[in-house]
Amino acid sequence: MSQTNQIAVVEQSVGELFDRTATAHPELTALVDGPTGAAVTYRELAARVDVLARWLGAIRIGPGDRVATWAPNVPPVAAFTLAALRLGIAVTGVNPASTDSEVARQFEDAGVAAVLTTAQLADRAAALGVRHVLALGDTRAGTSLQDVLAPPALARPAHDPAIPPVAVDADRLALLPYSSGTTGLPKGVMLTHRNLVAVLEQLRQRLDVGERDVTLAVAPFFHILGATAAMLLPLTTGATVVTMSQFDPLDLLRLLDQHRVTYLAVPPPVAGFLATHPAVDAHDLSALQLLASGGAPLSPDLQNRLQERLPDCAIGQGWGLTETGGAVAIPDRRAGAAPGTVGRPLPGTEVRAVDPRSGSPRPSGHDGELEVRGPQVMEGYLGRPTETAAILRPGGWLRTGDLGHLDPAGNVVIVDRLKDLIKVKGFQVAPTEIETELMAHPAVADAAVVGGPDERTGEVPVAFVVLRAALDGGQRHNLADWLRGRLAPYKQPAAIHVVDHLPRTPSGKLLRRDLGESINR
């Protein structure tokens, strides 16, 4: 078992952390809209956060309520999130690529009272029953709000006096990201202000982030990696966040060069692009001091190639779960992480390997299911006590569903996954969710989905179906059309194989490993 030095758990809210930072560094640049170059200082951002907090108060949304952000990475998402957190309102982020049924499920489960979204998605949000829809650039909300939310206008000051600080209990719900956990459909992960303040302090210590830093928000804010590492960490330490509303590799290089980005968190496909694409040589990335890869495994070969490309940059992969605020073990600011490992556990974090069946600790260096204990571990799943009890052991240990061990240097080594989740570009895809939609098709008698290897995305879903009757080629194509209207693009199977039967145990449990092996033959 590994335990690093403890951290002091401070009785503060995320809003208090931001207010303290904005007061200490009022003239530093807080946010830059990458596509337009529009920038806002911490003083100006604090004023915009205040205006948004006033709007939330005016529509009687306050402590204990929940709101959503349904938009790409733009500065107003950060402002809206901070405004809600200042008032004790929990925020759930929604993927703009999600279908209406997926969004409706999350809105209903979370109890969303208001949503910040784009003009293009505003009508869809209203049709899903959200009472208060605040659209970017929506003049119906009032001129002052339009000034706050339109990225090109973000640099203009607001003149309203600040509202008094709101006392927010550290144990109040702060973020409600949705995760499939180790199995099953997406569930709301309850992260309190105490959880977030802890993980932000853990990240700050390991990454040494401060007012001299600039980061590029590649990871989406609705994803836990983007919410913590790319938004809340920099904005509570005085760093600058440059946003990307849509990922484009050449734009990535331009923004890294133009804004002298110092640290960057990316999924492995982006790390692969930086390691191999010839366009990298045409840009100055010498300001980059740390590149951390997360969301899916980074091979030692790719890490070594990236290190050759960026010799003065510390490189490594990290490991975390939505249930741990996105971080358990990460690279060091100056040393990176040893290839083949995900670095050392964060301060105040314990990691142990146990027998997956009995839960008894495994001997040092032996593989087992990795369990984590620390102040960043979630309170549980929203409204799901059974699922919470299945993943949280007595004593506060969180089952991760990952197989691995700790090496002699204290680094965490991930060997394999015990869980069934498929990771596509760092996003978790639950096979059960796709199987449920396939089974809803009248021609499908049985269905199973497993992950298949893909050089571009890391993994892709691959489906196997048993049909009730023979289908011709056109009807088989109809299965893909059926899913297209029900699932986000990254959840779409790369292939749908028709089989006579699915491998199951006598008790009916699906043998996914057998299907996975058939893909790799």
CB of 231 closer than 8 Å to CB of 61: no
Instruction: Enumerate residues 6+ apart whose C-beta is below 8 A from 70.
Output: 93, 94, 96, 103, 115, 116, 117, 118, 121, 125, 222
Domain boundaries, the chain: 2-330, 345-417, 422-520
Which helix (H) or strand (E) segment holds residue 120: the answer is helix 119-127
220: left (phi over 0), alpha (psi -120 to 50) or beta: beta
**pLDDT at position 273:** 86
| Number of other residues whose CB lies within 10 A of the CB of residue 469 | 8
Whether pTM exceeds 0.85: no
Integer Cα distance of 304 and 6 in angstroms: 32
Architecture category of domain 2-330 in CATH: 3-Layer(aba) Sandwich (3.40)
What is 345-417's CATH topology?
A: Luciferase; domain 3 (2.30.38)
**pLDDT at position 150:** 47
| Ramachandran angles phi, psi of 453, nearest 5° | -70, 145
Rounded to an integer, what is the distance from CA 434 to the centroid of its chain?
20
Tell me the C-alpha to C-alpha distance, in Å, between residue 373 and each of 328, 345, 348, 358, 422: 9, 10, 9, 18, 24
Q: Which residues pair with 354 in a beta bridge?
A: 361, 369
Tell me the C-alpha to C-alpha distance, in Å, between residue 497 and each of 2, 98, 235, 447, 467: 44, 25, 47, 10, 10
Integer Cα distance of 94 and 115 in angstroms: 10
What is 422-520's CATH topology?
A: GMP Synthetase; Chain A, domain 3 (3.30.300)
> Would strands 240-243 and 29-33 be described as parallel, antiparallel, or unpaired?
parallel
Integer Cα distance of 326 and 229 in angstroms: 8
Residue 257 amino acid letter = D
The structure tokens 């590492």 sit at 229
Instruction: Enumerate residues 6+ apart whose C-beta is below 8 A from 62.
Output: 56, 87, 88, 89
Kindly give the confidence (pLDDT) of every residue in the chain, 521 residues in length, as a single tens digit, with 9 standing for 90 and above.
666 667 776 788 999 999 999 999 999 999 999 998 989 999 999 998 998 998 899 899 999 999 999 999 999 999 999 999 999 999 999 999 899 999 999 999 999 999 999 988 999 999 999 999 998 864 344 433 444 454 443 444 445 555 666 788 999 999 999 987 655 678 999 999 999 999 999 999 999 999 999 999 999 999 999 999 999 999 999 999 999 998 899 999 999 999 999 999 988 778 888 988 899 999 999 999 999 988 777 778 789 889 999 999 999 999 999 999 999 999 999 999 999 999 999 999 999 999 988 888 998 888 899 999 999 999 999 999 999 999 999 899 999 998 889 999 999 998 877 777 788 988 878 887 888 888 888 888 888 899 998 888 889 999 999 887 766 555 555 888 889 889 999 999 999 999 988 887 544 567 877 887 777 66
With b for 16 or more beta-carbon neighbours within 10 A and e for fewer, the 266-293 pattern comes to bbbbbbbbbbeeeebeeeebebbbbbbb
Instruction: Enumerate residues 6+ apart whose C-beta is below 8 A from 472.
Output: none
Alpha-helical runs (H) found in 177-293: 193-207, 224-225, 233-235, 249-258, 268-276
Integer Cα distance of 397 and 374 in angstroms: 8
DSSP states of 56-115: HHHTT--TT-EEEEESSS-HHHHHHHHHHHHTT-EEEE--TT--HHHHHHHHHHHTEEEE
Alpha-helical runs (H) found in 211-299: 224-225, 233-235, 249-258, 268-276
